[in-house]
């Protein structure tokens, strides 16, 4: 019987088959942050349980931590309590924690890969929907709820209903000025925000193989925005080169054995998927969202759509509501829409390659007078690397704020928020109503596109730069 990549990883982790497609699976890596873990640890204490495998759990603070001056106390009382609670729980249960003083602190989906803790063939869980990021390494990585966080802490296992498998084959080559963020936004625009519901997406094709690991993480990160349970890319030489020498990757003889095993995690040439979708990368231009879901997206050269022209009544109503919230009129060219803020960050686009791409656009230029722009590295390691390369000076001289690592404005759960009516060019993964602040209006795009928008003070086609 032929197997897909997902089949192989799933089968390698089955502890016990339960009813139907439900199975008890072993978890290789459990990532924990300050927001979804307090109740889980409280449940362990209440039932007098320990953490089954603390060495397979990594904790960090990221969601609601301040990204400014860390010598100051956390001003938000709830955030301060959550950060303190994680510190206490990590200490009591013997879990490694990257706190605000740690040089390894950062967004949970950035630090796992950069430390080499994320590896091919793993089953990885975290109380965060964008855990799908780690699937770029050929891991089955998914977000879980707080009750499941408690269950994994106590047992190192999780009960799951096996999802179906969808192949997203992306052929062709990307044009200059077009990147991984554009690819995944175009795919979501094509299949919709529920197009992959109930599936694990495996990304295949020449365009996917040509992506760097950081670009692959961007693609897998946003799988959840298409309704998928997870996204995966089979490991290859690009994967191995990225992992080699990282602090938590296997070393010496163990490295050779690990690579040999990792090479088995791939789909058979004749593997059968439950569904398939195709996309030609050469036909994808820079993407910008115009509405309030990642699926409401178009090429920067397009115009704001007319809801009346959409085929389904539900789509017409959703688009009309989105345009009202976004303050946009049908037929308006996307290029030229003025903005107030720019956010370069998030677990989607705050790695070193993202910052390099943005810096190459802003170098020698300056942020438009009406725009407030900020750069929030995905981790303190990324921040340190960027500073070694002088990227912080490039951004500062251009008028950007240079911050410490954290989720920041991506989800508005901290001090970095939009004001009502403010329009933001963001490298985040979501643009829901109020996501970045009550009444804030978010346009999702690539780092290069967001950087160009900061300079011009409006949405622009970065290919002209």
Tens digits of per-residue pLDDT, 288-312? 999 999 999 999 999 999 999 999 9
Whether 277 and 298 map to the same domain: the answer is: no
pLDDT value, residue 397: 98
Is residue 88 situated within a structural domain?
Answer: yes
* H helix or E strand, kind and range, residue 26: strand 22-26
C-beta separation of 111 from 128 below 8 A: no
Is residue 154 situated within a structural domain?
Answer: yes
Whether 274 and 292 map to the same domain: the answer is: no
Bridge partners of 441, per DSSP, are 423
C-beta separation of 381 from 114 below 8 A: yes
Distance CA 404, CA 105 (A): 10
Select from 54, 60, 62, 4 the least CA-distant residue to 29: 54
C-beta separation of 427 from 354 below 8 A: yes
Whether 67 and 115 map to the same domain: the answer is: yes
pLDDT value, residue 412: 84
Whether 141 and 60 map to the same domain: the answer is: yes
Q: How many CB atoms lie within 10 A of CB 156?
A: 18
Bridge partners of 426, per DSSP, are 343, 444
Q: How many CB atoms lie within 10 A of CB 245?
A: 10
Whether 154 and 37 map to the same domain: the answer is: yes
pLDDT value, residue 465: 86
Is residue 252 situated within a structural domain?
Answer: no
Is residue 274 situated within a structural domain?
Answer: yes
pLDDT value, residue 372: 98
Select from 459, 435, 429, 433 the least CA-distant residue to 341: 459
- How many domains in the chain? 3
For the chain, how far is it from start to end, CA to CA, in angstroms? 51
pLDDT value, residue 314: 94
Using the Cα atoms of residue 12, residue 18, residue 22 and residue 23 in order, give the sign of their dihedral: negative
Domain range spanning residue 407? 287-464
Is residue 242 situated within a structural domain?
Answer: no
> For position 271, which CATH number holds?
3.40.1060.10
pLDDT value, residue 414: 84
Which alpha helices (DSSP H) does 108-249 contain, by range? Answer: 108-115, 146-155, 180-191, 206-209, 213-221, 237-243
Whether 193 and 292 map to the same domain: the answer is: no
Whether 230 and 307 map to the same domain: the answer is: no
Whether 17 and 134 map to the same domain: the answer is: yes
Residue 265's Cα: distance from chain center in Å? Answer: 22
Is residue 78 situated within a structural domain?
Answer: yes
pLDDT value, residue 415: 87
Query: Which phi and psi angles does 313 have, rounded to 5°?
Result: -60, -40
Whether 119 and 22 map to the same domain: the answer is: yes
Give residue for tokens 């795919």.
187
Whether 273 and 403 map to the same domain: the answer is: no
Distance CA 323, CA 312 (A): 17
pLDDT value, residue 1: 85
3-class SS of residue 123: strand
Rg (CA), the chain: 21
Query: Which phi and psi angles does 304 have, rounded to 5°?
Result: -60, 125
Final residue belonging to a domain, choices 215, 248, 283: 283
> For position 74, which CATH number holds?
3.30.499.10
Final residue belonging to a domain, choices 130, 160, 190: 160
Distance CA 371, CA 283 (A): 31
Final residue belonging to a domain, choices 283, 298, 318: 283
Is residue 245 situated within a structural domain?
Answer: no
Is residue 249 situated within a structural domain?
Answer: no
3-class SS of residue 327: coil
Whether 403 and 415 map to the same domain: the answer is: yes
Residues 6+ apart with CB under 8 A from 453: 339, 342, 425, 445, 459, 460
pLDDT in tens, the chain (465 residues): 899 999 999 999 999 999 999 999 999 999 999 999 999 999 999 999 999 999 999 999 999 999 999 989 999 999 999 999 999 999 999 999 999 999 999 999 999 999 999 999 999 999 999 999 999 999 999 999 999 999 999 999 999 999 999 999 999 999 999 999 999 999 999 999 999 999 999 999 999 999 999 999 999 999 999 999 999 999 999 999 999 999 999 999 999 999 999 999 999 999 999 999 999 999 999 999 999 999 999 999 999 999 999 999 999 999 999 999 999 999 999 999 999 999 999 999 999 999 999 999 999 999 999 999 999 999 999 999 999 999 999 999 999 999 999 999 999 888 899 999 999 999 999 999 999 999 999 999 999 999 999 999 999 999 998
Whether 412 and 446 map to the same domain: the answer is: yes
Cα separations in angstroms, 346 against 2, 3, 199, 409? 37, 34, 24, 8
């Amino acid at each position: 019987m032929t197997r897909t990549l997902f089949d192989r990883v799933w089968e390698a982790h089955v502890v016990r088959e339960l009813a139907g497609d439900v199975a008890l699976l072993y978890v290789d890596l459990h990532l924990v942050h300050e927001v979804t873990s307090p109740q889980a640890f409280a449940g362990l204490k209440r039932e007098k349980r320990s953490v089954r495998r603390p060495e397979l759990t990594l904790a960090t603070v990221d969601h609601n931590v301040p990204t400014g001056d860390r010598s100051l106390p956390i001003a938000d009382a709830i955030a301060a309590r959550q950060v303190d609670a994680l510190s206490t729980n990590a200490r009591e249960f013997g879990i490694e924690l990257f706190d605000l003083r740690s040089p390894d602190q950062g967004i949970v989906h950035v630090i796992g890969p950069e430390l080499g803790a994320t590896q091919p063939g793993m089953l990885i869980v975290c109380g965060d929907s964008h855990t799908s990021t780690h699937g770029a390494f050929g891991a089955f990585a998914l977000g879980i709820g707080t009750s499941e966080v408690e269950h994994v802490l106590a047992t190192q296992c999780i009960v799951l209903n096996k999802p179906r498998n969808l192949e997203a084959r992306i052929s062709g080559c990307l044009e200059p000025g077009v990147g991984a963020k554009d690819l995944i936004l175009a795919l979501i625009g094509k299949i919709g925000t529920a197009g992959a519901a109930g599936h694990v997406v495996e990304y295949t094709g020449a365009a996917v193989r040509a992506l760097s690991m950081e670009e692959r993480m961007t693609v897998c990160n946003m799988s959840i925005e298409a309704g998928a349970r997870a996204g995966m890319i089979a490991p290859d030489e690009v994967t191995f080169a990225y992992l080699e020498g990282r602090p938590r990757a296997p070393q010496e003889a163990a490295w050779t054995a690990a690579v040999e095993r990792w090479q088995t995690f791939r789909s058979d040439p004749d593997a059968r998927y439950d569904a398939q979708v195709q996309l030609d990368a050469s036909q994808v231009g820079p993407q910008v969202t115009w509405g309030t879901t990642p699926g409401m997206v178009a090429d920067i050269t397009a115009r704001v759509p007319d809801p009346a022209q959409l085929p389904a009544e539900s789509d017409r109503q959703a688009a009309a509501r989105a345009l009202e919230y976004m303050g946009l009129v049908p037929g308006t060219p996307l290029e030229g829409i003025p903005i107030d803020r720019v956010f370069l960050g998030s677990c989607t686009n705050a790695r070193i390659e993202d910052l390099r791409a943005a810096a190459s656009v802003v170098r020698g230029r300056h942020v438009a007078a009406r725009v407030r722009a900020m750069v929030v590295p995905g981790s303190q390691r990324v921040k340190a690397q960027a500073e070694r390369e002088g990227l912080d000076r490039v951004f500062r001289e251009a008028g950007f704020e240079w911050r410490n690592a954290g989720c920041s404005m991506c989800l508005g759960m901290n001090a970095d928020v939009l004001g009502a009516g403010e329009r933001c060019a963001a490298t985040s993964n979501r643009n829901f109503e109020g996501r970045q602040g009550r009444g804030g209006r978010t346009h999702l795009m690539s780092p290069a596109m967001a950087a160009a928008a900061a300079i011009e003070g409006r949405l622009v086609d970065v290919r002209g730069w």
